[in-house]
Every structure is written in structure tokens, then in C-alpha cells.
Amino acid sequence: MITIIITLIGSLLFALVAPVIGCLLAGIDRIISARMQGRVGPPLLQPYYDVRKLFGKENVSVNSVEHGYVVCAFIFACVAGGIFFTGGNLLFVIFVITLSSLFFIMAAYSTRSPYAEVGAARETVQVMSYEPMIILMAIGFFMAAGSFDTKAVFALDTPVISTIWLIFLGLLFVLTIKLRKSPFDLSMSHHAHQEIVRGMTTEMSGPTLGLVEIMHWCETVLFLGWVGLFFVWGQWFSVVIAIVVVLAVYFLEIWIDNNFARVKWQFMFKSAWAVALLAGGVNIAVLAFL
């Protein structure tokens, strides 16, 4: 009962705090991307202005369920964040965030637009690509920390990165797919060089699109939280180290985003599974048998 209340309060707090952090991260992302392209770039709060504008637009949903699905996706993204940051079960976090992705895919399918359907099909392939590595990450975390609960890291003498660094590299690989950054922005792209109009969000406009953006901010914070989890142990200053690593990883993602062309889904699928098998499989085998 207490766990449920803590999770609920955590989810509510996450729904309030994560969009703020995610919005700032998105703003930094756009400025750094612009600098990498030799431009000045937008103001830091540009993502916030965009979303405020979207909420001010007329509501022209193509059907009555699309917005509902996106709201569900947003709620489950917040619940996943709430479970994770209150020290809950990592495996459960992964399942809830996957549920959120599935609701988003349903929202895209429900519009019956051919472009959105292609986008949704590709997003399904993306989920299939990154999911094995993410599940192996949870198993590796269990073997390293002795528990699926994320709060277990605070009782450790050394961070889990010291034993499952290979899994961390695998996570870095699928993180690009999860954040939908180039070269893996097949289902929808943030950039001007769009794929299949705008993929999943082709038929979403105004307030619905605004909510999609906010959900994306929350997801980014949660995924970066997974990265940080690897670097936290029993010392208080480990949290600072984790935040520094998270920012470095985010910079790396932006660099990758700006330097690689979009790949075909076949390459994404095969490489993600190969990475899961090599990084995840080898690391878990070493932990299990040595």
C-alpha cells in the first residue's frame, strides 16, 4: 500500500518536474545542433514556445480516440518515471514505458493516414529492435546489484558500471533508437529533412502534438535516468558524477544525431539485435559463469 502511494506521488512529481528538465534539455539540444551546423540557433526556451503555440491552435483531431491514446501514453510515461525515480522495480519501469510506446503506436494507427501507418509500423520495428537490449539491461542490473529495485544502488560499494560496462555500451547504442535520433529516426524525425511527411505524428496537430512533445521530454529524462543509474553507488557525490555522465551522454547523442544519415530499418533491426546479443549476452554470461 505504501509503495503504491509513494509511486503515485512520485509519478505526479515526475509529471511536474520532468517536462521542465526535458524542455531545457530539448532547448540545449537545438542550440548545440545549430552550433554544430554553423548556425546561431533558437533561444533556450524555444521548445516551450513551440508547445505553448501548439496548445493555442485550433483542435482538428481526425477522430475522437487519437487524443485519448496520446493522453494514456503520457500518463504511463509519467508512471514509469515515478516508479524509476522513487526506487521502484526496473523491470516494471521497462514494461510500463513499453506500454506507453504501444499507446503512442495505437494513436498513430487510429488516424488511418497512410503516412502515419508507415510511421507506426516503423515505430513497432524500433520497439522490437531496442527491447531485447533493454530487457538484458534489467537482467544485468539484477545480477550486478542483487535486486531489480533501483534504490538498491545506494547500498552498493561500487557502481554497477564496474561489472556491467558492456551492457552500458549496449544501452548507449539503443538509446539513439529510443530517443528517435538520427540515424534511427525512422518513425518520425525532428529535423527539416523529414521522412514520410512526419511519420507517426502526420495527423496529429495542435494540442495533441503539444502533448506528444511533452511526453517526449518526460521519456528523455527517464532514459537519461537509466544512464545515470549505472554510475550511482553508496556515496552522495556519486549522484553528481552520474549527472555529469548523463550530460556527456546527451552531448554524444546530439553529436551522433548531427553526423549520421538515416539508415534503413533492416540495418537498425539487425545491428540492435547483434549488439543485444554481444553486449548483453556476453556480459551476462561472464557474470553468470565467472
Partner 1 sequence: MGYASRSPWVIHYDGSSCNGCDIEVLATLCPGFDGERFGVVNTGNPKHADIFLVTGSVNEQNIDVVRQIYDQMVEPKVVVACGICACSGGVFHDCYNVIGGVDQAIPVDVYAPGCAVRPETLIDAIVAGVKVLDEKEAALKEQKRAAKKER
Write out the residues near partner 1 by the rule CB under 8 A.
30, 34, 37-43, 46, 49-50, 52-53, 56-58, 60, 192, 194, 197-198, 201-206, 209
Min dist CB 26 to partner 1, Å, is 13
Contact of 241 with 255, CB cutoff 8 Å = no
Q: Phi and psi for 89 in degrees, rounded to 5?
A: -75, 120
Rounded-to-5 percentages of helix, strand, coil across the chain: 75, 0, 25
CA 86 to each of CA 10, 12, 79, 89, 150: distance values in angstroms, whole numbers, following the listed order: 6, 11, 11, 9, 8
Min dist CB 199 to partner 1, Å, is 10
Min dist CB 262 to partner 1, Å, is 14
Min dist CB 185 to partner 1, Å, is 14
Q: What torsion do the CA atoms of 98, 103, 104, 110 make, to the nearest 10 degrees?
A: 150
CA distance 228 to 240: 10
Q: Which is nearer to partner 1, 39 or 112 (CB)?
A: 39
Q: Which is nearer to partner 1, 124 or 205 (CB)?
A: 205
Interhelix angle 206-229/2-36, nearest 10 degrees: 100
CA distance 119 to 115: 6
Q: Which is nearer to partner 1, 149 or 213 (CB)?
A: 213
Q: Which is nearer to partner 1, 40 or 288 (CB)?
A: 40
Q: Which is nearer to partner 1, 89 or 202 (CB)?
A: 202
3-state secondary structure of 198: coil
Min dist CB 264 to partner 1, Å, is 20
Min dist CB 145 to partner 1, Å, is 42
Q: Which is nearer to partner 1, 132 or 207 (CB)?
A: 207
Residue-level length of the chain: 290
